[in-house]
Chain A
Amino acid sequence: MAPLVPSQDEQQRRRIIDINAETVTNIPSTDFPGHWPGESHAWAVDQFKNTFQVDFHRNDPLEASFSLIGLDAAVANAFRRILMAEIPTLAIESVFVHNNTSVIQDEVLAQRLGLVPLKGSVEGLNWMHWFRKPGEDEDGSNASEPSDFNTVILRLDVECTKNPEADENEQDPRKLYNNAHVYAKDMTFHAVGRQESYFVDEGAIRPVHPEILLAKMRPGQKIDVEMHCNKGIGADHAKFSPVATATYRLLPDIKILRPIIGDDAKKFAKCFPKGVIGLEPVTAQEAGRGGSGYEGHAGEQKAVVQDPFKDTVSRECLRYDEFQGKVKLGRVRDHFIFNVESTGQFDSDVLFLEAVKVMKLKCARWKRGLNDLMA
């Protein structure tokens, strides 16, 4: 027997998560074998290829926004989690303090330095390997030696002095003294070995934001530290996370079930962010049709859904009696609007591709494990 195919209406109903005044219903996806009697829902790669879509809304180096349409929440969520926690990046890991007479304590300064986002030649960053640290109860025999392919050296050597050219009535410590504020741009990169060919000129390792304030000093105070940067992942420490935020939301869905006309339409539009609901005049044709709800309202303004993408799903419109039963809010279950904000080490669109790469590697590992199980 050929599998049953649900009607178009039913398929559409299953795609929408209902957002009611106080509840959210129809949440879990049901497109898997065995849920609907007689229907197949077997996953097929060809069908997925045909229905899956990617739309870019915005693609800047530091922020990308795009829609993934036609995949399951589990997969979308896996990409989001990989983006945050499993893409390797370079960050300061060890700080060697030679001298620090500033008021900020060594360990606090070290922690601050670790959180500074770095950037450099992407080719060089991909060339770099992990640095394996000795474990708690190991003798260090399988720990890495710091080398050109796993450690980047930065130095910060600043001393605060009086500025002899400052005006005598000057109150601003930045003009009164030299190096009163220590910024991320004061860190200097020292290439070692093959790093000299990878991290040159524009590709040199440097902070993404040069104006990050690291410490404040007064004349006579000094900071002299050497920093070793290693590769790591966000699961280990947040400083290794390549994204500032990586989020997704489902595309909002607004259905106007019965006409909203005149002043009500204006009030309805105000319940939503600008641009979500538009006003259009009722046409003579609509007004002429019996039972449409538009009879005798030709030329008046009616509310139409213009762009549900901009909606925040505040449910404000569900609070008013006049819209009761006239509107249905929802979200499209398989339309994920991703927003990826990079910290600057990689471009934001590249990050998503990296996440896909990591996912593939994880799947390959899982498959290998299954094969070993069968052997």
Chain B
Amino acid sequence: MSREAYQVPSMGAQNAFGTDAGFGGAMAVDNPSVVYLCGECSARVPLKRGDQIRCKDCGHRVLYKERTKRMVQFEAR
């Protein structure tokens, strides 16, 4: 199978909205932290579900996702 094929996100995957009630109990089993980048100081900010969206270094409230880990193919033309 090609590396680019779509993968269905597993239940344990992070949800963009921290206050998603109802699934809380099931999610608590594995609660991985996702790394974001601070929009102000470019620091790496690991966030867990329910964490406040805030940079730990500078307190900035805008965070960005990291670039996808997926490989992208281009023609050199």
Q: How near does chain B come to A352, taking the closest CB pair, in angstroms?
A: 28
- Set of chain A residues within 8 Å of B77, measured between Cβ atoms: 111, 114, 237, 239
Question: A237–B75 Cα gap in the complex (Å)?
Answer: 12
Does A318 make an interface contact (CB < 8 A)?
A: no
Does B71 make an interface contact (CB < 8 A)?
A: yes
Q: How near does chain B come to A234, taking the closest CB pair, in angstroms?
A: 13
Does B7 make an interface contact (CB < 8 A)?
A: no
- Set of chain A residues within 8 Å of B72, measured between Cβ atoms: 96-97, 106
Chain B contact residue count (CB 8 A cutoff): 10
Question: A75–B10 Cα gap in the complex (Å)?
Answer: 66
Chain A contact residue count (CB 8 A cutoff): 22
Does A245 make an interface contact (CB < 8 A)?
A: no
- Set of chain B residues within 8 Å of A98, measured between Cβ atoms: 69, 71
- A93 and B74 in contact, given A99-B67, A101-B67 (Cβ under 8 angstroms): no
- Set of chain B residues within 8 Å of A99, measured between Cβ atoms: 67, 69
The 8 A CB mask of B7-30 against A (1 = contact, 0 = none) is 000000000000000000000000
| Cβ-defined contact, A94 with B75, below 8 A | yes
Does B52 make an interface contact (CB < 8 A)?
A: no
Does A100 make an interface contact (CB < 8 A)?
A: yes
**Contact pick for A107, options B67, B69, B74, CB 8 Å:** B74
Q: How near does chain A come to B76, taking the closest CB pair, in angstroms?
A: 3
Interface residues of A in 94-131 (CB under 8 A from B): 94-101, 106-107, 110-111, 113-115
Question: A220–B42 Cα gap in the complex (Å)?
Answer: 8
The 8 A CB mask of B51-77 against A (1 = contact, 0 = none) is 000000000000000010101111111
Interface centre among B67, B69, B74, B77 (most CB of A within 10 A): B74
| Cβ-defined contact, B76 with A91, below 8 A | yes
Question: A98–B48 Cα gap in the complex (Å)?
Answer: 26
- Set of chain B residues within 8 Å of A110, measured between Cβ atoms: 74-76
Question: A239–B74 Cα gap in the complex (Å)?
Answer: 15
- A94 and B42 in contact, given A99-B67, A100-B67, A101-B67 (Cβ under 8 angstroms): no
- Set of chain B residues within 8 Å of A100, measured between Cβ atoms: 67
Closest to A95 in B: B74
Interface residues of A in 222-272 (CB under 8 A from B): 227, 237, 239
**Contact pick for A96, options B42, B67, B69, B71, CB 8 Å:** B71
| Cβ-defined contact, B73 with A94, below 8 A | yes
Question: A220–B67 Cα gap in the complex (Å)?
Answer: 13
| Cβ-defined contact, B76 with A239, below 8 A | yes
Which 10 pairs of residues, A with B, have the shortest CB-CB distance? A114-B76, A110-B74, A95-B74, A92-B76, A97-B72, A110-B76, A95-B76, A96-B73, A96-B71, A98-B71
Query: Can you report 17 residue pairs joining A to B where beta carbons are below 8 Å apart?
Result: A91-B76, A92-B76, A94-B75, A95-B75, A96-B73, A97-B71, A97-B74, A98-B71, A99-B69, A106-B72, A106-B74, A110-B75, A110-B76, A111-B76, A113-B76, A237-B77, A239-B76
